Amino acid sequence: MITETKPTTHQIAVTVNGAEHSLEVEPRLLLVHLLREKLGLTGTHVGCDTTSCGACTVLVDGVPIKSCTHFAVQVDGREVKTVEGLKQGADLHPIQVGFKEEHGLQCGFCTPGMMLVTSVLLEENPDPTEEEIRWAISGNICRCTGYQNIVKAVQWAAKNMGESA
Amino acid sequence: MSTATETEHGGWLGLSVKRKEDDRFIVGRGNYIEDIRLPNMLYMAILRSPFAHAKINSIDTSRASELPGVVVVVTGAILAEHKLAWMPTLSGDTQAVLATDKVRMQGQEVACVIAEDVYVAHDALDLIDVDYEPLEAVTTPQAALEAGAPLIRDDKEDQADNKIYHWEAGDAEATEKAFAEADKVVRLVTHYPRCHPAPLECCGCVADVNPATGKATIYMTSQAPHAHRTVFALVAGLPEQNIQIISPDIGGGFGNKVPIYPGYVVATAASLLLGRPVKWIEDRTGNLISTGFARDFYMDGELALKSDGTMTGLRVKMLSDQGYAFADAQPSKFKAGLFHIVTGSYDIPAAHVVTEGAYTNKAPGGVAYRCSFRVTEASYFVERLVQTAAYELGVDPAELRRQNFIPPEKFPYTSATGFEYDSGNYEPALDQALERVGYKELREEQKRAREQGKLIGIGLASFTEVVGAGPSRQYDIIGIKMFDSAELRVHPTGKAILKLGVKSQGQGHETTFAQIVAHELGIPPEDVTVQEGDTDNTPYGLGTYASRSTPVAGAATSVAARKVRDKAKKLAAHLLEAAEDDLEWETGKFFVRGAPERAKTIQEIAFAAYTDHPEGMEAGLEAVDYYDPPNMTYPFGTYAVVVEVDRGTGEWKVRKVVAVDDCGTRINPMIVDGQIMGGLTEGYGIAAMELITFDEDGNCIGSNFMDYLLPGSWDTPSFELGETVTPSPHHPIGAKGVGESATVGSPAAYVNAVIDALAHAGVRNIDMPLTSGKVWAALNEAGLAE
């Protein structure tokens, strides 16, 4: 890192997947780069750079946002959840199991964003219709799988979360 | 060679084993190119041309070089000193690595900044001063071939115009005769527009040349790592044993990651120059405007028929927009790929195809976007033409297809343009599709709806593909024959590693190929690790594209496993103190005929291969196979699409999609269905929205995901899948390949459905993508608009 080119830096405190971090960052640093480059959390991907594809989706205070057009300084004092934080203790989140069970992924590049968005959907709406699932993931693009099996994966998770609750 | 008929299906074939690769992807522990980070690594950013065609008067990098953190700014002039300013394409043409004399497309690579930080590298791009002198841009192949058109490739001594190739297939004379004797001739003129594979992950690499050893380790988004290693050796003059290509997890390819792009070359050259690893990750705009596009074929063709509907001849003229370099990744014998399979599923005795390619001021590519070398364009054309013929003859499009299908007893079938179809049985797939979609009832409903002023359309496509390149006597990429390979090692504990020359980009090879080994040897899939992508640790192969992994590498896997089984038999005879001839195989073990309790499992045999092998026998249990397929495979199917068209807006909504596929033996039905649904989604995108287009100055419209539209969850329809199974007679387990069937077959079905809704008013063609604006214009012209 070349310090001379850094304009000003800001001190931020952010909780990522339950761990607290205090970091000095350039104001222009994108959240996705904070996660990937500074914290080594490479499960969040960049697909389009323009908030269009959703591969970079993470949760900020429980709300899905696209981290490729979100600045790191905007998460100062907030909680961020990435795919690496989706597991519940040692167990996979039902949404993770659902994606495998229903063949809801192929190359896996869009999968973290898809899972994070749908984990929020299921918290708010434990028994969503197909239409509600399709609406929830409409900001996330998948090129390999299409959406039918992703819908099934979410339905699988909904069913199994319902049964375990 | 064993044939499919000798293979007992069952066991591990036809089982929907859950994917092994998912375990890392669902927890965010995939390892994609951007995840690779090496110590002391530098970052590269590319400056691209804003003009489609311009002379470069000067490039001044001094301000950029002075920016703290910038290590070097690479220009074409620097590369030229090392004879690296130009590189060969996969079609034997040349393409600039970094522009020296001129830029010939918008987005062309002009200079690269190498810096300590990726943000700094991008900052420095703004400090490079390039003096361009804009030239007239050529934006269509028609304009390119006009007399007096600006010469695009004036760098090439032997190039006096913008024509790249003229290539013909079939029998002109016989076809002429068929047309002279025809009762009816039906014509279709259509453009399969330029679109882009747009995998969700862009391209990129990390080049790491060790100055002490000279070893170049290049991590790159490569669908064909071995072929790329050889190209690097030839282009850069590096000794091939010192080049290791590692293709990590790939976030989708669809043909986009088959070519070698300038970014890979400059990053490698910079690493060589600087002795430090250099990382280049493409941004989305770079991906869309500069890397391998797909299609862009202008097709004008006719079908000759008898009055009873019998097809007697087909002729097509095709003009291809290749961009500024001829860079199709395709077998060198065939200039327009396999477009001459344009007779499709029909028994047409005479056919003639005339193809031409032209340079334009656009990105090179012509990659097969989930397609086997232009079979997509061919399939689209014939399926649209047959539908047109049905309207002109006043017969049902389904029945015209049925009447002219190649009958099952004619297989193997030699087509008028020289393909030898391995197996097929087209009617059952058509019947099943019609049954599932409710064809008869729909035709009734369509009639009633029209009376009420509503527009419903039913579109069919009965496609035949040609995949699995290929027999090496006919198929090569830049001279390298298109075989593929598998190396299977069974360890002492009975676990195995399978190493392949192909490379998955999401197709699920780690599971499917483990199932093939399980089928052949009885070692369960979870005990078989599949390794791909690392050229130091896998046997040579041509890579994954054109649906060739299962037909070629899958066959190699079967054969390698059978070689292992042959040796296992000798070991079992030794262990059981029996004659080899007295042993029988049942998945997973050899036993003495008539005494099934005297048996040795493959795991016991594997252990003995390292601990108790007989004198005179080599230790170990492994085999390699380089498989040269005797023929291509010919998957087929029928797709049926039902749409409703809004007369007020031109919007069309898909009501139902039925896809009946026959890909021969299905190894993992879950994965097969997944491939088909993915292809149906991309096919819908191509039919409805995916378009790379240009304004008259050559500015690319479609340079980001806000302009280049992709199908989303909200608009993509649901699919109903069906299957028939006609095994390939020459593949060891009868599999044909399936990754591309749906992108090949479905665009015609979607478009045919929309045209079908308007056909009674005389509408015969709307060029893709069928945006509501275009459909509305057609409605208006036909007097159907509301």
B25/B506 Cα distance (integer angstroms): 11
Minimal-distance CA residue of chain B relative to A150:
B713
pLDDT category of residue B132 using cuts at 50, 70 and 90: very high
Residues B453/B647, Cβ–Cβ less than 8 Å:
yes
Closest alpha carbon to B655 in B745, B712, B719, B749: B719
Domain annotation for chain B: domains and CATH numbers: 4-29+484-627 (3.30.365.10), 33-135+202-250+257-290 (3.90.1170.50), 294-469+631-781 (3.30.365.10)
Peptide bond into B769 cis (omega under 30): yes
Within 10 angstroms of residue B367's Cβ, the number of other Cβ atoms is: 29
Distance from CA of A110 to the nearest CA of B (A): 7
pLDDT category of residue B470 using cuts at 50, 70 and 90: confident
Question: pLDDT tens for residues B393-417?
Answer: 999 999 999 999 999 999 999 999 9
Residues A53, B200: C-beta atoms closer than 8 Å = yes
pLDDT surpassing 70 at residue B688: yes
The interface residues of chain B toward chain A in range 382-421, judged by CB-CB distance below 8 A, are none
Contacts of A92 in chain B (CB under 8 A): 26-27
Residue B661 β-bridge partners: B637, B723
For position A3, what pLDDT does the model report?
A: 45
Distance from CA of A136 to the nearest CA of B (A): 9
B140/B74 Cα distance (integer angstroms): 32
Question: pLDDT tens for residues B436-452?
Answer: 999 999 999 999 999 99
For position A65, what pLDDT does the model report?
A: 98
Least confident of A33-42, A94-103, B7-16, B173-182: B7-16
Identity of the residue numbered B501: G
For position B329, what pLDDT does the model report?
A: 87
Question: pLDDT tens for residues B472-508?
Answer: 999 999 899 999 999 999 999 999 999 999 999 999 9
pLDDT surpassing 80 at residue B10: no
Q: Looking at domain A94-164, which CATH architecture does it have?
A: Orthogonal Bundle (1.10)
Distance from CA of A145 to the nearest CA of B (A): 4
Contacts of A100 in chain B (CB under 8 A): 18-19, 22-23, 26
Distance from CA of A156 to the nearest CA of B (A): 15
Residues A96, B26: C-beta atoms closer than 8 Å = yes
For position B1, what pLDDT does the model report?
A: 32
pLDDT surpassing 90 at residue B559: yes
Helices (H), B418-530: 426-437, 439-451, 509-521
SS3 B432: helix
**Residue among B27, B705, B711 whose CB faces A52 most closely:** B705
Question: pLDDT tens for residues A51-110?
Answer: 999 999 999 999 999 999 999 999 999 999 999 999 999 999 999 999 999 999 999 999
The H-or-E segment that residue A154 falls in is: helix A148-164
Residues A100, B23: C-beta atoms closer than 8 Å = yes
Residues B467/B484, Cβ–Cβ less than 8 Å:
no
Question: pLDDT tens for residues B377-395?
Answer: 999 999 999 999 999 999 9
Let me know if B740 is a catalytic residue: yes
pLDDT surpassing 90 at residue A2: no
**Chain mean pLDDT for chain B:** 96
Residues B748/B379, Cβ–Cβ less than 8 Å:
yes
Let me know if B371 is a catalytic residue: yes
User: CA angle, B55 as apex, B53 and B59 as ends, to 5°?
Assistant: 120
pLDDT surpassing 80 at residue B663: yes
Distance between terminal CA atoms of chain A?
A: 48
For position B44, what pLDDT does the model report?
A: 98
For position B682, what pLDDT does the model report?
A: 98
Least confident of B10-14, B276-280, B634-638: B10-14
For position B4, what pLDDT does the model report?
A: 36
- Active-site residue, from B295, B370, B647, B666: B370
Torsion of CA A62, A66, A69, A75, to 10 degrees: 20
For position A6, what pLDDT does the model report?
A: 53
Helices (H), B193-323: 225-236, 262-274, 284-290
Average pLDDT over residues B188-215: 98
Contacts of A96 in chain B (CB under 8 A): 26-27
Domain boundaries, chain A: 3-85, 94-164
SS3 A36: helix
Residues B198, A143: C-beta atoms closer than 8 Å = yes
Within 10 angstroms of residue B234's Cβ, the number of other Cβ atoms is: 13
Question: pLDDT tens for residues B410-439?
Answer: 999 999 999 999 999 999 999 999 999 999
For position A164, what pLDDT does the model report?
A: 63
C-alpha of B665 from chain center: 21
For position B374, what pLDDT does the model report?
A: 96
Residues B716, A47: C-beta atoms closer than 8 Å = no
Distance from CA of B680 to the nearest CA of A (A): 8
For position B2, what pLDDT does the model report?
A: 35
Does B533 contact chain A (CB < 8 Å)?
no
A106/B668 Cα distance (integer angstroms): 14
pLDDT category of residue B683 using cuts at 50, 70 and 90: very high
CB-defined contacts A:B, below 8 A: 180
- Active-site residue, from B194, B446, B740, B764: B740
For position B11, what pLDDT does the model report?
A: 82
For position B716, what pLDDT does the model report?
A: 98
Contacts of B252 in chain A (CB under 8 A): 106-107, 109, 143-144
pLDDT category of residue B236 using cuts at 50, 70 and 90: confident
Let me know if B370 is a catalytic residue: yes
The interface residues of chain B toward chain A in range 286-305, judged by CB-CB distance below 8 A, are none
pLDDT surpassing 50 at residue B257: yes
pLDDT surpassing 70 at residue A7: no
B767/B307 Cα distance (integer angstroms): 28
The B455-464 sheet, strands edge to edge: B455-464, B636-645, B652-662, B720-723
**Residue among A46, A96, A134 whose CB faces B713 most closely:** A134
**Chain mean pLDDT for chain A:** 95
SS3 A73: helix
B481/B502 Cα distance (integer angstroms): 14
Helices (H), B452-531: 509-521
Distance from CA of A96 to the nearest CA of B (A): 6
3-state secondary structure B514-549: HHHHHHHHCCCHHHEEEECCECCCCCCCCCCCCCCH
- Which distant-in-sequence residues (6+ apart) come within 8 Å of B235 by Cβ? B84, B87, B88, B260, B265
Closest alpha carbon to B34 in B292, B275, B250: B250
pLDDT surpassing 50 at residue B188: yes
Residues B678, A5: C-beta atoms closer than 8 Å = no
Contacts of B26 in chain A (CB under 8 A): 92, 96-97, 99-100, 105, 108, 111, 115
The interface residues of chain A toward chain B in range 60-89, judged by CB-CB distance below 8 A, are 82-84, 86-87
Question: pLDDT tens for residues B570-595?
Answer: 999 999 999 999 999 998 999 999 99
Within 10 angstroms of residue B159's Cβ, the number of other Cβ atoms is: 15
Burial class (CB within 10 angstroms; exposed 0-12, middle 13-18, buried 19+) of B767: middle
pLDDT > 90: percent of chain B: 97
SS3 B405: strand
pLDDT surpassing 90 at residue B237: no
The CATH number that domain A3-85 falls under is: 3.10.20.30
For position A165, what pLDDT does the model report?
A: 52
Beta strand pairing status for B350-358 and B163-170?
Answer: antiparallel
Does A137 contact chain B (CB < 8 Å)?
yes
pLDDT surpassing 50 at residue B659: yes
For position B468, what pLDDT does the model report?
A: 95
pLDDT > 70: percent of chain B: 99
pLDDT category of residue B235 using cuts at 50, 70 and 90: confident
The interface residues of chain B toward chain A in range 121-160, judged by CB-CB distance below 8 A, are 123
Closest alpha carbon to B442 in B464, B427, B457: B457
